[in-house]
Amino acid sequence: MTTKAAPQELDHDPHPDTTAVRSSRSRRLAARLLRASHRWRTNDTSRVDAATMDVPWPVRQQVLREYHAANLSRARHASEEMVRAGFNTGAVPYGYRALRARVTPAGKRPRWRTRLAIEPVEAATVKMIFVWRAEDRLSIAEIYQRLRTARYPAPLDPDTGQPGMWTHTVIAAILRNPKYQGRQIWGRRHHGRPAPRARWVWSPAWAHPPIVSAELFAAANQRARPAA
């Protein structure tokens, strides 16, 4: 009497999900469409393949929208990972200087990232701004006058890199910047508008040396204090 051998268990799904395949095809098609769009704008249609030209316009638009959405999602994920690792994103805040750090993610090329280190003179100015606001209860206009009168060093102009000027806007931005508490943060604005606090991405504590304590930061940002 013979017995049938039990079927071997497969270590993979015999019917794999085709989502990844479709996504890969969409990315390739989107890349072709982007190249074709550039060549159409420059009247260089000789290098546009017939298959790309035959894609209906609504399909092109949909593929490109999905392609851009996927790129934005990947960029957001990368920024979130950088912040959680304690690296700086965006401009270096007044009071700090940039420290370049070379990191090598698993399976990827080495990359340069930025951490923050204290700039002593500027950091002392930042601390005074918070003390004047929180403890002396000065308005932003009064803080502005003190900074100008005592000639505290102003932040550099972001466009020229040359010494800038103190303004009410600059002072208010310093008082609202949570990075002075020693933590990195990302996502405070979305499409140019303030984002809900629940959507902000924070680094663990002490991503870089703090200039002010959490208590001083909170006291300086009490809503009851006059804004100007």
How does pLDDT run across 103-142, given as a tens digit for each residue? 777 777 888 888 999 999 999 999 999 999 999 999 999 9
Distance CA 135, CA 217 (A): 11
| 3-class DSSP assignment, residue 110 | coil
Q: Name the residue ranges covered by the structural domains of the chain.
A: 23-84, 120-220
Torsion sign across C-alpha atoms 188, 156, 92, 171: negative
Q: State residue 205's pLDDT score.
A: 75
How does pLDDT run across 37-61, given as a tens digit for each residue? 544 444 544 544 555 555 566 666 6
- Look at residue 189 and tell me whether its pLDDT is greater than 90: no
Average pLDDT over residues 63-73: 64
Cβ neighbours around 68 below 10 Å, total? 12
- CATH class, 120-220 region: alpha beta
State residue 205 phi and psi, 5-degree precision.
-60, 150
- Helix, strand, coil shares of the chain, percent, nearest 5, are 45, 10, 40
Q: State residue 89's pLDDT score.
A: 83
Distance CA 198, CA 66 (A): 26
